[in-house]
Each structure stands twice: as C-alpha cells, then as structure tokens.
C-alpha cells in the first residue's frame, strides 16, 4: 500500500509546485501588464502644503489621504466595483492597483493582494492606536492609502486594505 501512496504524494507536490510557478505576478512586477507608460512616473514626486491639498481634495478624501484617517467600512463607492481597470491615487493619479488583484475580503474596504507595481507604493510601520500595523502610502505624493496585512489570499498572502476615497478608478 505504501508503495502506491508515495508516488501519489509526489505527484501532488509536483502539481502544487506547478501552481506556484504560474503565479500571476510576472517578473516585471505588474500583475496585469497594463501599459502604464501614459501614467505619472513615481520619480516625478508631488509635494504640496496641507493648505494646497485642502484646496483641491474633497474633505473626506483629505481626511484620509493627508491626515491618515479611515473611512467608515462598507461606505466607499469602490468597495463593490467589479469592473476591469486601474485604481489610481485620488490625490496624484499614480497607478496603484489593478482590478485583477482585487478580492472580496469582507472587511468593508476595497482589498487587493498586490500593488500594480511594487515601487508605486511605500510601506512603513504604523504604531498608532496601540497596534503595530504597516501603513501604505502613495510613493509619488506621500498620501496615506490604507494598511497591508498578512492574511490575504494566494499568491502573495497579502491584503492591501485601502480606503475607497483614497482611490480613483479608471475603466480599461
Ligand atoms: Zn499619490
């Protein structure tokens, strides 16, 4: 009996390995291969004063993007958006996430398992509210977007928990 079980386990391991190799994140780090050449470059940084941001952003977006606020769960307009396209920073237009990595987390906030390109975002430790979390910011304008947690789905196991008002959706 053992003679037959062992090849079965080996086959299972081989299949699992194959599944991991076909990860939807290619080596260039862009899960969808959307052409981002027409979008702002991360190196073209945006820097504005709080007064300047306040003048151009809606109050609810300012509170999240520039004051690290969190929108009420299940209130954001992009939570149940299932169209194909790109989610850009609501403050500066930097492409952040693809619809291809959006998933239903049940948390009440739009959730993604990977950024559209790794260098489009910045991650830093956030110790506010007595919790140790990892804050996610726009790498171009420094705006607060949300947090990332390690309880997401495959292939990354990450959950980028974003505020709807920090994002703007562009249909593709
Ligand atoms: Zn930005």
What is the distance in A from the centroid of ligand 1 to the CA of 147?
Answer: 15
Locus of tokens 């959706």: 169
pLDDT at 27: 66
What is the distance in A from the centroid of ligand 1 to the CA of 166?
Answer: 9
DSSP string for 13-69: HHHHHHHHHT-S--TTS-SS----TTSPPTTS-----HHHHHHHS-HHHHHHHTT--
Arch. (CATH architecture) of 47-171: Beta Complex (2.170)
Which residues are catalytic, by number?
161
Angle at 168 between CA 167 and CA 169, to 5 degrees: 120
Q: pTM (2 decimals)?
A: 0.84
**In which residue ranges of the chain is pLDDT below 50?**
1-2, 5-22
Q: Integer distance in angstroms from the first to the last C-alpha of the chain? A: 54
- Residue 136 has, within 13 A of its CA and on its CB side, a CA count of 26
What is the distance in A from the centroid of ligand 1 to the CA of 9?
Answer: 48
pLDDT digit string, tens, across residues 126-170: 999 999 999 999 999 999 999 999 999 999 999 999 999 999 999
């Amino acid at each position: 009996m053992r003679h037959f079980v062992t090849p079965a386990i080996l086959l299972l391991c081989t299949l699992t390995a194959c599944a991991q190799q076909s990860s939807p994140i290619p080596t260039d780090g862009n899960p969808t291969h959307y052409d981002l050449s027409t979008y702002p470059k991360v190196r073209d940084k945006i820097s504005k004063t709080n007064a300047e941001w306040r003048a151009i952003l809606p109050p609810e977006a300012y509170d999240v993007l520039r004051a690290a606020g969190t929108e009420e769960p299940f209130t954001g307009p992009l939570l149940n958006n299932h169209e194909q396209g790109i989610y850009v920073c609501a403050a500066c237009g930097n492409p952040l996430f693809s619809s291809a990595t959006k998933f239903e987390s049940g948390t009440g906030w739009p959730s993604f398992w990977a950024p559209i390109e790794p260098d489009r975002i910045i991650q830093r430790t956030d110790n506010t509210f007595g919790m140790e979390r990892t804050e996610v910011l726009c790498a171009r304008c420094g705006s607060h977007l949300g947090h990332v947690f390690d309880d997401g789905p495959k292939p990354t196991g990450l959950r980028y928990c974003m505020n709807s008002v920090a994002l703007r959706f562009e249909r593709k």
